[in-house]
C-alpha cells in the first residue's frame, strides 16, 4: 500500500477515473499526480506514458488494460470487473486514461459498474488531445467570426463497418472539427465532408503524439488529407483538426508576405 497521504476524498475501497493528459507528464493536473501517488493499484491504458506511471509509489500495482485498435486487449466488461473487484478488496483504485476520461474514454461504463456495486467513484479531468494538439500548433481551436463552434467526433468504426456520422452536420464551415481516432478513416472523412459541401481547401492540421518528444505536426487541406495521413504519419496516436481556425497562422503568414511585398 502507498503511504503517500491520500486525502479524505480517496478512502480505501474507492475509485478515481483520472485523466493522464496527452502524454507530457507536466500536463497532468496536481490532483491527478496526488491520486496516482496515493493509489494502491493503477489500471492504465496503452496511451499513458511511462513517465506518468513513474509517479506511482513503489509497491503500487500497475495493471495495463490498454486498448489500441487492432491489438489484443481486455474488453470493457473485464476492465469494469477488475476495477470493481479491486475496490471491493479495499484498494485505492486509480483508473488512468489518456487525455480526459470523459472524452471518448468509456468513463460511463466504468462509473456505472462501480455504482452498481456500491463503490464510490469520481472523475479527475485531464487535458484532452485536441487542446494539446492546438497548443503545439500555436493555434486556437476557436476563432472569432470564423470558428464559433468546436465539435469533438470519433472516426472509429467497428471492423468492416462504415462510419455512422452525420456528415451534413459536420460539414460546417463555421466550426472546428476535432477528429479522434481518425487516422485510419482519413480518406472517408475527407471525401464525406467534401461531398457534404465543405470546401476542398479547408485547412487541416494533423498532430501525432501531441505534447511528446516524438510529436509530429502537419498542415494541409481537406482534399489532401488522405495523402498526408497515409504518407506523413507514423503509428502514434494522431488527431485531425479541420476548419478555418487551423489556417489562422497561414493566413497571418501570407498576410505578412503581402505586407512585406507592399513595403518593398
Ligand atoms: N480520452 C482521450 C481520447 C481517447 S481516444 C483524450 O481526451 O484525449 C484516443 C484518440 O485520442 C487517439 O486515437 C488520438 O486520435 C487521440 N489522442 C490521444 N492522445 C493523443 C496525442 N498525444 N496526440 C494526438 N492524438 C492523441
Tens digit of each residue's pLDDT (9 = 90 or more) over 66-101: 765 445 567 889 999 999 999 999 999 999 999 999
- Asked if CATH classification 3.30.950.10 holds for the domain at 129-250, the reply, yes or no, is yes
- Asked if CATH classification 3.40.1010.10 holds for the domain at 15-124, the reply, yes or no, is yes
CA of 44 to the centre of ligand 1 (A): 14
CA of 79 to the centre of ligand 1 (A): 19
| 112 catalytically annotated | no
Please report the atom of ligand 1 found closest to the CA of residue 130: 8
User: What stretches in the chain show pLDDT beneath 70?
Assistant: 1-3, 67-73, 250-264
| 181 catalytically annotated | yes
Going from the C-alpha of 150 to that of each of 82, 175, 244, the distances in angstroms are: 35, 6, 12
Other beta carbons within 10 angstroms of residue 133's beta carbon come to: 27
DSSP 147: B
Secondary structure class of 153 (helix, strand, coil): strand
CB of 66 closer than 8 Å to CB of 45: yes
Q: Is 170 in the pocket of ligand 1 (CB under 6 A)?
A: no
Where do the domains of the chain lie?
15-124, 129-250
Helix spans in the chain (H): 30-38, 50-53, 76-88, 107-116, 129-137, 167-170, 186-195, 225-232, 248-263
Number of helical H runs and strand E runs in the chain: 9, 10
Within this chain, domains 15-124 and 129-250 share the same CATH topology: no
The answer to whether the pTM exceeds 0.85 is yes
Strands (E), 114-248: 121-124, 149-154, 175-180, 203-208, 216-221, 238-242
Q: Is 239 in the pocket of ligand 1 (CB under 6 A)?
A: yes
Amino acid at each position: 500500500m502507498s503511504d503517500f497521504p491520500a486525502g479524505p476524498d480517496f478512502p480505501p475501497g474507492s475509485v478515481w477515473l483520472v485523466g493522464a493528459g496527452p502524454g507530457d507528464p507536466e500536463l497532468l493536473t496536481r490532483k491527478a499526480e496526488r491520486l496516482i501517488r496515493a493509489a494502491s493499484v493503477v489500471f492504465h491504458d496503452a496511451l499513458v506514458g511511462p513517465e506518468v506511471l513513474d509517479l506511482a509509489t513503489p509497491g503500487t500495482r500497475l495493471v495495463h488494460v490498454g486498448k489500441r485498435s487492432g491489438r489484443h486487449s481486455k474488453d470493457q466488461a473485464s476492465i469494469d470487473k477488475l476495477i470493481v473487484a479491486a475496490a471491493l478488496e479495499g484498494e485505492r483504485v486509480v483508473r488512468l486514461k489518456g487525455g480526459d476520461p470523459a472524452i471518448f474514454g468509456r468513463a460511463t461504463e466504468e462509473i456505472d459498474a462501480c455504482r452498481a456495486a456500491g463503490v464510490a467513484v469520481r472523475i479527475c479531468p485531464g487535458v484532452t488531445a485536441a487542446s494539446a494538439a492546438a497548443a503545439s500548433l500555436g493555434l486556437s481551436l476557436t476563432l472569432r467570426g470564423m470558428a464559433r463552434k468546436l465539435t469533438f467526433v470519433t472516426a472509429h468504426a467497428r471492423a468492416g463497418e462504415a462510419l455512422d456520422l452525420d456528415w451534413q452536420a459536420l460539414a460546417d464551415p463555421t466550426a472546428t472539427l476535432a477528429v479522434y481516432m481518425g487516422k485510419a478513416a482519413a480518406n472517408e472523412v475527407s471525401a464525406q465532408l467534401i461531398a457534404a459541401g465543405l470546401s476542398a481547401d479547408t485547412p487541416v492540421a494533423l498532430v501525432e503524439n501531441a505534447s511528446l518528444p516524438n510529436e509530429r505536426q502537419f498542415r494541409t487541406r481537406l482534399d489532401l488529407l488522405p495523402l498526408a495521413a497515409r504518407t506523413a504519419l507514423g503509428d502514434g496516436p494522431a488527431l485531425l483538426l479541420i476548419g478555418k481556425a487551423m489556417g489562422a497562422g497561414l493566413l497571418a503568414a501570407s498576410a505578412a508576405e503581402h505586407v512585406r511585398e507592399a513595403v518593398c
